[in-house]
Amino acid sequence: MRVKSIHLENYRNYRRLDLDVGPSVNIFFGKNAQGKTNLIEAIYLCACARSHRTSRDKDLIIRNKNDSDNNETFYQVILDFFSGSDTNIEESVSIRYEEDEGKKPKRTAFHNMVPFERFQDYVGLFHAVIFAPEDLQLVKEGPSVRRRFMDILISQIKPSYFFNLQRYSRLLVQRNSVIKSIKSHLSGDGLTNDQKMEISFWDYPLSEAAAKIITDRIYYSEKIMKYAVKNHRQISEDKEILDIKYKTISGVMDDEKKKDPYKYEKEIEESYLKKLTNSHKEDCERGITIAGPHRDDLELYLNGDNARLFASQGQQRSASLSLKLAEMMLMEEETKETPVLLLDDVFSELDAGRRKCLLSNIKDAQVFLTCTDRFYVNSFVSESIEKDKNVSFYEVKDGSVSLVSA
């Protein structure tokens, strides 16, 4: 994959930007709060249909500093890019969000300017991997951060996974709504047959969607582990052993299923359905669906100890970097294309050894890199990349971007 140009309208602090970029390494430099990360975010938005910094599209619309009552009501991001081996065929992807007073906000994805009715048809058209200071949360924070990591990675590789995630989420909301309603009328005698039937109506489709998600997560977590373990051995110079364990609903996974999870998809579905049926009373008492892939985790261990609880900050950085490199490698293996790499001020967070490991894995990827000091970053970027790769420099200042000479 290679981005040809970026077009922004009313995005963050960019009123309008039309920028052609280089095919190899693109370094965006400038003082803080000028819009460097906003560019990285916009590119990533076109890959995943979501920002890595906020879940609210409203936050991405430019704000009028002098007149808060006259703000814009939409933003649009367009990427022109080449994919595959044929660099003569140009494509475009775009995300547009607009608000209309009195109406529900509208969010639309486009491919070659043709709108999609469903976002699941869009995800997977353009591939990018982001490295950002927030990646440290992969180790430090709770399961939701690591689930999001898995979900974004697998969705780019396998769009049907994104469809199943959305379906599961909708069904879970509906089942929980029924449970909460029953909770408010729950008596000491337990559930009535009608109440059990009302919950069971959602158990069957929920277990079907869950089994597809769990099966994909088992399959791809094994691949993530293979690459991440190898990367961590390189980073730690064989001093540490990283282990990754996918944790899901108890009783639905064992070592045999890891070998060929798709063979056991129906068995996983039946096991989860049984668990849902047996937990009707407890779910109603608590007002939520207790068990399911919405509670999954990707647990990380260093030398046998839980990394979240016992790893130092340096070890956490190494584990996070190992995971992100695994994401890049797995995406390339599965899609047969090198994803675009987005490096958002990461070198200030990495020591020399980790920087070297990251840069040695860039290979033939197109890179977008942000920093405050271009000479400092270029000093080790130039040493690590292939000599035939051109480095393009762009100065970012108050929502404007200018190509400058090396």
Has residue 303 got a pLDDT over 70?
A: yes
SS3 73: coil
- 115-119, 146-150, 362-366: which range is least confident on average? 362-366
**Domain of residue 62, CATH code:** 3.40.50.300
76-126 confidence digits (pLDDT tens) = 999 999 987 656 789 999 999 999 888 899 999 999 999 998 888 898 999
- The total number of structural domains in the chain stands at 2
The pLDDT of 167-181, averaged and rounded, is 96
SS3 366: coil
Position 89 scores a pLDDT of: 83
Rounded to two decimals, the pTM is 0.90
**Domain of residue 324, CATH code:** 1.20.1050.90
Same domain assignment for residues 113 and 200: no
Q: How far apart are CA 179 and CA 283, in angstroms?
A: 7
Among 296, 313, 336, which residue terminates a domain? Answer: 336
- Going by DSSP bridges, is the β-strand pair 367-371/340-344 parallel, antiparallel, or unpaired? parallel
Position 380 scores a pLDDT of: 77
Has residue 18 got a pLDDT over 70?
A: yes
Same domain assignment for residues 188 and 321: yes
Query: Which pLDDT band holds residue 386 (cuts at 50, 70, 90)?
Result: low
State which residues form the domain around 259. 134-336
Give the amino acid at 187. Answer: S
Average pLDDT, the chain: 91
Same domain assignment for residues 324 and 362: no
Same domain assignment for residues 274 and 156: yes
The pLDDT of 29-46, averaged and rounded, is 95
Same domain assignment for residues 319 and 224: yes
Position 181 scores a pLDDT of: 92
Q: How far apart are CA 229 and CA 65, in angstroms?
A: 48
Query: Which pLDDT band holds residue 258 (cuts at 50, 70, 90)?
Result: confident
